[in-house]
Structure 1
Amino acid sequence: MNESPKERGAQMPKVSVIMPVYNVEQYVDQAINSILNQSFKNFEFIIINDGSTDHSLERIKKYQDDSRITVIDKENAGVSAARNDGIKMAKGIYLSFMDSDDEVEPNFLAKMVEHTKNIQVDMLMCGYYVEHLDEKEGMTKQVPVRMRAGTFTKEHPPDWEVDANSLAMLGYIWNKWYRRQVIIENHILFNEEMNFLEDIDFNAAAYKYAEDFLVLENCLYHYKRRRRTTLVSTFREEDFDMQLQSILKRKSILQEWGLETPQLEQVVAYLHVHAVKGFCVNLFLNENQLTFTQKCEYLNKVIERPLTQERVKLFIPQNIVDRILKLTIGKKMGYALAIISTFYSTQRKVLKMKF
């Protein structure tokens, strides 16, 4: 592992921004500049090149003259290991994580700092924008996601209306700050065996040990959802089980903070059914080596699970797609769902070829 040492001065940085980088040469400059152009300047920026095979490292090195930046260049070990390297090196009062293909608002750091002047909470969370981008980086849709603002403790938990957005917000790491002392003293690190849904696993531990957290309504982070340039994908049956584990961990976070409500089970049911939908997309939209019969067998195993059947009963459809899901899953119509998924994926591929 090679790193570029920097003179840090006597003042401890307020926040350490940790950003792993892997093969994002076309996006990494935007991500770096969105941090360097912050109105608040007392931060350190730890960039970990996780064995990129493109020109990401060359792009990162252009910024090494900035004394706030430390670049770590290491062999590829995965995003969890890269973030752990950043945690171990960090000196800030708070830790912040950023994905190398996203951006933040120019006042992201300033707004978060503003709310820690009088109180030093264990965690902070802000709203964010989900931005859907096409192949030419044009934004097709921007969705703001936020919660009601406030400072909460386990003795005085939030009285949020629990929905899919609130569960999503709790799971991500990039819209949060973590007090470093809490992370270090409780030995909270990312599971290096996980490179999928690893942020939820980390957050479950962080929420367990946090005594209080502060929520800002401001949408300060831009989460970019880019359309895949290829439809080739490896099918993994275990991905569905990992999705269910992530739902349970999000549920446990709310329970930890006293938010056990009747709506919670309905939201869990919603997420479970939509995990089945994602499973269908993985099976039928992305190319793999499975025959149609094999795909139907996998799909039937998922929808016939007792837990799936239990949750589909609680599932409240929001639109026609949801109603189709409730009917086909509830009646265990795996073959029908497979045909619908095949038709849908064919239409998507035709549209992609045309446009």
Structure 2
Amino acid sequence: MNINSGLSIVLTYYKGEKYIFHCLDSIFRSYKQSRQLLKKEVVVVIDSMEDAERIADEITKRYLAEDILLIINPENLGVANSRNVGLKKTQYSYYTIIDQDDYVKDNYFTILEEQLDPSVALHIINGVFLYHEQQKEIPIYYIPPDFRVKSILMQTTTIYTPGTVIFNSNFINKDNAFIDASAKFKGADDWAAYLDIIFRLDRVNFKFIKEKIFVYRLHQTNYSNNTGEMVFSSIAVLDYLAKKYTIHKDLVLRAKERYNFLYALKVEKQRSLHIFRKFPGIFIFHYFTSLMKRDRINRLIFRLDKIRRGIR
């Protein structure tokens, strides 16, 4: 790795005082424990109008000696647009987005110093799910994930949070990298960004970093807990992509059928026989074919590990 390269971290804040300082502490602590061969900067975009000035003052006071840039939005812009605002201010070729309630492990920068590869477009890093109420951790990936058009569209690969992806701006432009695909439905904006990237580049070369250096905190306010919202948001993303691109239309339609299937299965809780009659191909894919895909294997091991560890 070129020791003159650096990592830009964009962190958006919205009513997250409970978590934000723990996240920032983890970043700066990890950096101090590394050899500091990889330069870093942290850009915090405050999108919470109610407490913006107070949080900005507290961040300034706590991290006076750190390399941190504070931006206060003039009005609430939403998470996708706030991320884009932050990315416009970054200077290094590597960039990542960390949500305010997640954080990094102490070896985060040490591992990145050793393993970031300038020849690849993005890195997927491993980490753990932290079950906040129980304070128990479980790995995100047991086997390496994939990052291809079909695997991301059909979600046989799941990227759970943007903090587990590090982009290389020599391949993936920072400008408007994140998409607010639906003004009405939120939750799948990260997925929209990954799909937009992979549609533009067709094939993205990537590297998986197996060490568990990131923490994705699971709690009751995670968007992913609202199944209906996530399904509607995902369908809105697919409609957006179908209008924007002419490529991969068959896959987009198949992915949309999958989300209609998931709505019937998980939200409406229709009977299996009725669902099979309505979505026979997706039913077979979901319950049989996809079981051989990497992410479904990951999820199966994940469920067994949860049972073993007594995580509910």
If the TM-score is normalised by the length of the shorter chain, which range does it land in?
Answer: 0.5 to 0.7
Once the two structures are superposed, the pairs formed by residues 201-350 of structure 1 within 5 Å of their partners are 201-208=192-199, 209=201, 211-228=204-221, 240-244=231-235, 275-276=263-264, 278-280=266-268, 308=279, 310-316=281-287
Write the distance in 1 (CA, Å) between the matches of 2:147 and 2:219.
Answer: 36
| Residue in 1 that maps onto 2:164 | 175
Tell me if structure 2 keeps the 8 A contact 1:243–1:275.
no
Once the two structures are superposed, the pairs formed by residues 49-64 of structure 1 within 5 Å of their partners are 49-54=46-51, 56-64=55-63
Tell me if structure 2 keeps the 8 A contact 1:19–1:48.
yes
| Residue in 1 that maps onto 2:294 | none
| Residue in 2 that maps onto 1:98 | 98
Write the distance in 2 (CA, Å) between the matches of 1:167 and 1:248.
Answer: 20
Deviation of the 1:110 alpha carbon: 2.4
CA distances 1:108-141 after superposition (whole Å, capped 9, x unpaired): 1221231136x4321101112112222xxx42x4
Tell me if structure 2 keeps the 8 A contact 1:103–1:222.
yes
TM-score (norm 1): 0.59
Tell me if structure 2 keeps the 8 A contact 1:24–1:56.
no
| Residue in 2 that maps onto 1:189 | 177
Deviation of the 1:33 alpha carbon: 0.4
Unaligned runs of 5+ in 2: 241-246, 289-312
Deviation of the 1:219 alpha carbon: 1.8
Paired amino acid for 1:82: S
Deviation of the 1:178 alpha carbon: 0.4
Tell me if structure 2 keeps the 8 A contact 1:129–1:143.
yes
Paired amino acid for 2:157: L
CA distances 1:163-213 after superposition (whole Å, capped 9, x unpaired): x985113x642101101232328x552123544211111111333426421
Tell me if structure 2 keeps the 8 A contact 1:102–1:224.
yes
Deviation of the 1:245 alpha carbon: 6.2
Which structure has more RCO (C-alpha within 8 Å, separation ≥ 6)?
2
Write the distance in 1 (CA, Å) between the matches of 2:94 and 2:22.
Answer: 23
Change (3 A) 1:179 1:315: closer
What secondary structure is seen at the aligned counterpart in 2 of 1:35? helix
Write the distance in 2 (CA, Å) between the matches of 1:148 and 1:239.
Answer: 25
* Count of residue pairs the alignment pairs up: 256
Change (3 A) 1:24 1:181: same
Change (3 A) 1:188 1:274: same
| Residue in 1 that maps onto 2:112 | 112
Paired amino acid for 1:109: F
Tell me if structure 2 keeps the 8 A contact 1:188–1:206.
no
Change (3 A) 1:239 1:166: closer
| Residue in 1 that maps onto 2:29 | 37
Unaligned runs of 5+ in 1: 1-10, 250-255, 282-298, 318-355
Tell me if structure 2 keeps the 8 A contact 1:46–1:86.
yes
What secondary structure is seen at the aligned counterpart in 1 of 2:214? strand
CA distances 1:238-297 after superposition (whole Å, capped 9, x unpaired): 753433566999xxxxxx9xxx9xxxx9xx96x87555454259xxxxxxxxxxxxxxxx
Tell me if structure 1 keeps the 8 A contact 2:20–2:101.
yes
| Residue in 2 that maps onto 1:353 | none
